[in-house]
Amino acid sequence: MWVASVAADSLRSLDRVTLDLDRKVTAIVGPNGAGKTNLVEAIYFGLTGRSFRTADRRDLIPFGDTVARSRIVVRSDDEQLEHLFMSSSSRSEGSRYTMDGAAIERGEAVSHRPATTVFSPDRLELVKGPPSGRRAHVDSYIAARWPTRNELRQRFGRALAQRNALIARLREGSGDRSQLPTWNRQVAKTGSELAIARNAAVEELSGPFNEAAADLGLDRQTGLTYRPGSAIEAEAIEAGLEQRFESDLKLGRTGWGPHHDEIRLELDGRQLRRFGSQGQQRIGLLAL
């Protein structure tokens, strides 16, 4: 599938803008402030229901307007299939994201949606920044690659939040410690499922990542590795949580588990984010 056209209405500086795109490469050229990045954002918003520049989709709506819209037409390579993706963000009614008129969830795996990647200076945080960004990136791949695993990150996050809330109450002297085994089991079960999926995803991505880095001109040994922040098996995670309860109580939160996983981009066995040059980090980002 490829993007054939984009139409943006009341989206940042774009007002009733329509553009047909080339099947292979389209270069958008213009002076500063002309809206080039806004147009790229409109394409991304239309295809994914999200912005790559802001977490609050209401930021897309210009002052004085109430709704921002993006309409994307995609076609199959043989031109036999055509699908319409539409995204909107309203100040009063929230957001809506559809394919051919049917609502779809953001992050949901959609078979006819083209893969969409944005490369911008801010995206270097994925390589240079904290592990949380790389975990989220791999988790989004998991959701797209294996739709049945779409909710793993959310389920683990909910269980972890409940355990942390209980720890906070116990520190204050108002919690019920008998609830702890329940949340230990939930964190262990959901955490194990998430860790196993992350390990499988990184194993699957590692070879193509190395090949892409080499194709882009990085003539050094690269690697993509998964460094778990805890055990992977549910029983071992549960036992570890029980053993670390007192230290977690002092810390005020759960200090051990998949929320401390690291996805490492490596260059000659060392962390790319610490020892790679700016150019090498950019290639690593593009390869990922």
Q: What is the spatial distance between Cα 145 and Cα 134, in angstroms, rounded to a whole number? A: 16
- Return the CATH number at 7: 3.40.50.300
Look at 74-78, 180-184, 230-234, 238-242 and tell me which has the smallest mean pLDDT. Answer: 74-78
Residue 159 lies in a domain: yes
CA 206, 209, 215: angle at the middle one, nearest 5? 145
Residue 63 lies in a domain: yes
> What pLDDT is recorded for position 80?
80
Q: Are residues 132 and 270 in the same domain?
A: yes
Q: pLDDT band at residue 116, thresholds of 50, 70 and 90?
A: confident
Residue 111 lies in a domain: no
- Return the CATH number at 148: 1.20.1050.90
> What pLDDT is recorded for position 118?
86
Q: Are residues 48 and 165 in the same domain?
A: no
Q: Are residues 206 and 88 in the same domain?
A: no
The residue-averaged pLDDT of 66-80 equals 90
Q: Are residues 183 and 247 in the same domain?
A: yes
**Statement: residue 122 has pLDDT above 90:** no
C-alpha closest to that of 27 among 36, 14, 16: 36
Handedness of CA 12, 61, 143, 224 (dihedral sign): positive
> What pLDDT is recorded for position 7?
96
Q: pLDDT band at residue 107, thresholds of 50, 70 and 90?
A: low
Q: Are residues 80 and 185 in the same domain?
A: no
Q: Are residues 130 and 209 in the same domain?
A: yes
> What pLDDT is recorded for position 162?
98
Q: Are residues 151 and 201 in the same domain?
A: yes
Handedness of CA 235, 156, 227, 215 (dihedral sign): positive
Residue 110 lies in a domain: no
Q: Are residues 29 and 155 in the same domain?
A: no
Q: What is the spatial distance between Cα 219 and Cα 88, in angstroms, rounded to a whole number? A: 43
Domain extent, residue 144, equals 121-287
- Total tally of structural domains belonging to the chain: 2
User: Which value, in Å, is the radius of gyration of the alpha carbons in the chain?
Assistant: 22
Q: Are residues 81 and 186 in the same domain?
A: no
| H or E, element range at 170 | helix 152-172
Domain end, chosen from 37, 70, 103, is at 103
Q: Are residues 187 and 47 in the same domain?
A: no
